[in-house]
Chains A and B, each alone.
Chain A
Amino acid sequence: EDQVTQSPEALRLQEGESSSLNCSYTVSGLRGLFWYRQDPGKGPEFLFTLYSAGEEKEKERLKATLTKKESFLHITAPKPEDSATYLCAVQAGNTPLVFGKGTRLSVIA
C-alpha cells in the first residue's frame, strides 16, 4: 500500500529563518511526487511535480527536491504569507493521488 509520511507535523519559524519540510514515501512504481499548499478553509493549490530522483523545482522562496525515498521542500527566508499547510502526494501508475497529512507552517513577523 502506498504511504506518505510528512514531518514535522507543525513548524513555527521567524520571518527570514530558512528551513525544510520532509516527505518520505513508500510506493511501487512512482510516477510522480507532488507538493500542494493549503490555506485554512480552502482547497489545496498545486505547487510542484517531481518525477525522478535528483530533480529540483523552484518557485519564489520554495524549492522542492526528490530522492528515491523522500522529498524536501526548502523554504528560504520565509515571509508571514508563506504560512499554510504544505501537503505532499504521490502517484503510482495511473492511480489517484495519495496525500500525506501535511505540515502546518507558521511564519512569525
Chain B
Amino acid sequence: DTGVSQDPRHKITKRGQNVTFRCDPISEHNRLYWYRQTLGQGPEFLTYFQNEAQLEKSRLLSDRFSAERPKGSFSTLEIQRTEQGDSAMYLCASSLAPRTVTGELFFGEGSRLTVL
C-alpha cells in the first residue's frame, strides 16, 4: 500500500533561495491539498486541485508560492525568495471526490522547511 509520499522530508535553506516540494498522492485520488503547519498550530489550508485544475487558493497565500499538478498526478509546491516566516511543515493530502465531503483526507508525513 503506497500512501501519500512527500519529498524531501527536510529542507534547510538560506533566506532568498527558492525551494520546491513534491507530493505523490494515493494513485486513484483525484483531489490533492496543500496545508502548512507551524509549531503549536493546526494545519492551515494553502490550495487544492481536482485532477489538474487548481480550484482554490487561500487568500493568505503569497504570490511567492505557486503550486502545480501536471496531468493530475503528482504535485509540486514552489516557494520563491524564501523568508524566515516560511519555516513550517508543508503537508500534502489527497482524497477521492465526491467522497471528500466526508473530510477524510489522507495526509503525507510532511516536508519540514527551515529558512535560515
Interface on A for B, CB 8 Å cutoff? 4, 31-32, 34, 41-46, 49, 87, 89, 91, 94-102
Contacts and interface: CB of A to CB of B under 8 A. Distances in A.
B42 interface: yes
Interface of B: 4, 33, 40-45, 48, 56, 91, 93, 101-110
Given A32-B101, A96-B48, A89 B106 contact: no
A31 B99 CA distance: 13
B107 A99 contact: no
A45 B103 contact: no
B101 A91 contact: yes
Contacts of B4: 43
A94 B103 CA distance: 10
Contacts of A32: 101-103
B101 A94 contact: yes
Contacts of A89: 42, 103
Given A43-B91, A43-B93, 4 more contacts: A44-B43, A45-B107, A96-B48, A97-B103
